[in-house]
Amino acid sequence: MWRSRKGRDRKTVVCIACGASVLRSEAREYDKEGNRWERYGKEFEHLCKECHRGLCHQPREELESLLVGIETDGLSRTEFLERYFGAVRERYGPPEEPES
């Protein structure tokens, strides 16, 4: 007879955003590489459902390398944002004006 899947995953994980402990079955996987479908050899971090809902789910190709390239210890938030916007403008050009 097949067992019920309900009690199978009673392990708890910690949400990397808020620090809450939640059941693994109630969490969402987070892959910093942005490709959770390539699972071989990976260990995933987890987000609670509430924090997962708050994420932007748009593609983020090249984001990790862009952030690593501008990050330096001791930068203030303002300095970091100035570097980030400068790097984005350099790579992709100025933002387009929204259509009226």
- pLDDT-derived band at 70 (thresholds 50, 70, 90) equals confident
Least confident of 9-13, 25-29, 54-58: 54-58
- pLDDT-derived band at 6 (thresholds 50, 70, 90) equals low
The helix/strand/coil state of 30 is strand
Residues in CB range of 11: below 8 A, 6 or more apart: 23, 24
Burial class (CB in 10 A: 0-12, 13-18, 19+), 71: exposed
Query: What does the alpha-carbon distance between residue 12 and residue 27 come to, in Å, rounded to a whole number?
Result: 9
Query: What does the alpha-carbon distance between residue 12 and residue 24 come to, in Å, rounded to a whole number?
Result: 5
| Mean pLDDT across 76-82 | 91
